Chain A
Amino acid sequence: QKEVEQDPGPLSVPEGAIVSLNCTYSNSAFQYFMWYRQYSRKGPELLMYTYSSGNKEDGRFTAQVDKSSKYISLFIRDSQPSDSATYLCAMSGTAAGNKLTFGGGTRVLVKP
Chain B
Amino acid sequence: DGGITQSPKYLFRKEGQNVTLSCEQNLNHDAMYWYRQDPGQGLRLIYYSQIVNDFQKGDIAEGYSVSREKKESFPLTVTSAQKNPTAFYLCASRSVGQSGNTIYFGEGSWLTVV
Q: Which of B14-22, B40-48, B62-70 contacts A (4 or more CB under 8 A)?
A: B40-48
Would you list which residues of chain A between 52 and 87 have a CB under 8 Å from chain B? Answer: none
Q: How large is the interface on A (under 10, 10 to 19, 20 to 34, 35 or more residues)?
A: 20 to 34
Would you list which residues of chain A between 24 and 59 have a CB under 8 Å from chain B? Answer: 32, 34, 36, 41-46, 49, 51
A43-B105 contact, Cβ under 8 Å, with A96-B97, A97-B50: yes
A83 to B105, CA, bound (A): 19
Interface residues contributed by chain B, number (CB under 8 Å)? 26
Which residues of chain B are within 8 angstroms of A97 by Cβ–Cβ distance?
50, 96
How many A-B Cβ pairs are below 8 Å? 52
Residue contact B101 to A100, C-beta cutoff 8 Å: yes
Which residues of chain B are within 8 angstroms of A51 by Cβ–Cβ distance?
99-100
Contact of A32 among B100, B107, B108 (CB under 8 A): B100
Residue contact A8 to B108, C-beta cutoff 8 Å: no
Would you list which residues of chain B between 28 and 67 have a CB under 8 Å from chain A? Answer: 33, 40-43, 45, 48, 50, 58
A104-B100 contact, Cβ under 8 Å, with A44-B105, A99-B48: no
Would you list which residues of chain B between 60 and 91 have a CB under 8 Å from chain A? Answer: 88, 90
Which residues of B are interface residues toward A (Cβ below 8 A)?
Answer: 4, 6, 33, 40-43, 45, 48, 50, 58, 88, 90, 96-97, 99-108, 110
Which residues of A are interface residues toward B (Cβ below 8 A)?
Answer: 6, 8, 32, 34, 36, 41-46, 49, 51, 88, 92, 96-100, 102-105
